[in-house]
A and B are shown apart, each in its own frame.
Chain A
Amino acid sequence: MAKIELKNLRKTFGSTDVIRGVDLTINAGEFMVFVGPSGCGKSTLLRLICGLEDITSGELLFDSVSMNHKVPSERGIAMVFQSYALYPHMSVYKNMAFGLKLANTSPQEMKNRVLEAAKMLQIEHLLDRLPKQLSGGQRQRVAIGRAIVRDPRVFLFDEPLSNLDASLRVDTRLEIAKLHHKMKDTTMIYVTHDQVEAMTLADRICVLRDGNIEQVGTPEELYNQPKSLFVASFIGSPKMNFLTGNIAEQHHCHTLGIRPEHLVVDQHNGIWSGEVMHTENLGSDFFVFIDLGTSDHLVVRLDGQERIKLGTRLSVRPLEKHLHRFDNNGLPNPSKSYQEAI
């Protein structure tokens, strides 16, 4: 159990600010996901919490105890690396036991803990193998096992799925979710650039951009009430539609956002219409790209069984309460709420 507090945390490399004063509280036992595009500082933030990087200024507290000057092994953390980072010359067993051995754990306890973790991850039959004899998924399990064995207060994941192929990624995602259910007391922090991973795994998501926190909230909050254009465009797949120019002005904002599933085809009362320029059939969903004649186009989600030909003229109507309005700074437009606009 550990509550993690970040107080005005900063990190500079030479003259570049990578983390620009982050304040964040991660509750004990929470699964927190740091998400953002590459270069947003999410990995650096994780490495600050881990202790692999120096904190330039600010404070890092685990259960109200400062961690600023503690080396990683004193923080009670475990980390799963992107490239697994298994020791190539050690067997799976030795890989998992290495940390315990350095901590002078008794051989019996070491054995018990490794076997327990191996059982939990179903890798008992691999214990004598070398990392190079394992598949990617198996390696990732060993890396997770090595972290579990340490019985950490805080579990850190640095893009653990990005080296796996697509189908394996989904399976392993499920594993990690199950792990979180089992280890209810362990705080988990997970870094990814993939918003699907963030949405599916997180209790709360922290969206980062240019070393600042853009928004923190549950997946639902981020999806339904994005506090900025950036978050609105980052969360959700396919992306939210953004309309500018005249259409936005009619709705009293600079940028108008509407998700594909919040558009309804209505050939009579539709307010936006255009030709179908492209369609994508995903089986469960059918996405239609409508050319509005301006620089923008609209993506509309239809039922997976629908079929519409290219070139068809379509009219659509947005569900008013799902419209997102942003001013020219990308912030929500508070002056005109959607009720007023009606």
Chain B
Amino acid sequence: MTRKMLLKKTAFYAVVVVIVLISVFPFYYAILTSLKTGTDLFKVNYFPSSFNFSNYIDILHNGEFIRSTLNSVFIASTTVACALLLAVTASYALARVRFRGRGLLLMSILAISMFPQIAVLAGLFELIRFIGIYNTPWAMILSYTIFTLPFTVWVLTTFMRDLPVEIEEAAIVDGATPWTIITQIFMPLLWPALVTTGLLAFIGAWNEFLFALTFTASESMRTVPVAIAMLSGSSQYETPWGLIMAASVLVTVPLVVLVLIFQRKIVSGLTAGGVKG
């Protein structure tokens, strides 16, 4: 190996190390902070100095935080389930049936997924007040549909378009109706795509902030992001950093684990959707 090549290789790996460090460090630092209490918090360390789990114990004894987590789990799962249910049939129609105005329809769906949420805030606020679901999880489930549904429809349409036509035709010759084709042929084939799309939509719903902030009033109805944003200490001037970091780590670790498990599938889902999940 020549010196030049060695130099090149070293530079390349240096870039790789920098990328990894920048990506991972803030989360690592959050974990580090979450393990510190009292005055330890205000000493900057790069490596773990103490393993004090009292922040975690505190946050897990915080009824409101547990409540928020349950709210978030309920809201995100219900939203995703509804979106997938509606999207599977809709995407079959969009991917597999030729009809006039299909392009326009797809374009409108894409446009809705790019809506600035703020543009519908006033109208949604009125609607939610009108139905009487203000300050309940249903307000979030309803409003999150505005981004989860177009996203799932769009991604599933892309996936469904890629399924071989001949399999569908074979099923038609066998006497299958569109409903049978979806439930007995396409759903089993699209299982991985459904999981990926569902996961991405779940992450989107789990992370949403604007609607959750606007449509909740009482502490017990908050979702996790709102709860973390509002987490305050005993006095107004003291931010409980250790507690915030412990809460952050707790709600992020499951996501990070899921994302790492489904890495490859998520990349394909993102590319298919071209939409930030």
Contact = CB atoms under 8 A, between A and B. Distances in A.
Chain A directly contacts chain B within the complex, with at least one CB pair under 8 Å:
yes
Contacts of A102: 174-176, 180
Interface string B150-165: 0000000000000010
Consensus secondary structure, chain A interface: loop
Contacts of B173: 50, 52, 72-73, 77-79, 99
Interface residues of B, number: 16
A86 B175 CA distance: 15
A99 to B, nearest CB: 4
A279 interface: no
Nearest to B180: A102
A52 B173 CA distance: 8
A89 B189 CA distance: 7
A103 interface: yes
Interface in A80-96: 81-83, 85-89
Interface string B177-197: 000100011001100000000
Contacts of B180: 102
B169 interface: yes
A98 interface: yes
Contact of A82 (B166, B171, B175): B166
B169 A52 contact: yes
Contacts of A83: 164, 166
Contacts of A89: 188-189
Nearest to A99: B174
A136 to B, nearest CB: 15
Contacts of B176: 73, 98, 102
Nearest to B165: A85
Contacts of A71: 172
Contact of A85 (B167, B184, B188, B189): B167
Contacts of A50: 173
Contacts of A150: 174
Interface residues of A, number: 22
A25 B23 CA distance: 71
A81 B185 contact: no
B251 to A, nearest CB: 36
A88 B174 contact: no
B170 interface: yes
Given A72-B172, A73-B174, A73-B175, A81 B166 contact: yes
B169 A85 contact: yes
A164 to B, nearest CB: 16
A50 B166 CA distance: 13
A223 B140 CA distance: 74
A148 B185 CA distance: 21
B175 A103 contact: yes
A81 B170 contact: yes
- Most chain B CB within 10 A, of A73, A82, A103, is at A73
Contacts of B188: 89
Interface in A12-29: none
A93 B184 CA distance: 15
B214 to A, nearest CB: 44
A71 B180 CA distance: 15
A83 B185 CA distance: 16
Contacts of B166: 81-83, 85
Interface in A43-98: 50, 52, 71-73, 77-79, 81-83, 85-89, 98
A85 B170 contact: yes
Contacts of A87: 167, 170-171, 185
Interface in B65-106: none
B99 to A, nearest CB: 13
B45 to A, nearest CB: 53
B169 A81 contact: yes
Interface in A102-151: 102-103, 146, 150
10 contacts: A72-B175, A73-B172, A73-B174, A73-B175, A79-B169, A87-B171, A89-B189, A102-B176, A146-B170, A150-B174
Closest 5 CB pairs of A and B: A73-B175, A99-B174, A85-B166, A85-B170, A89-B188
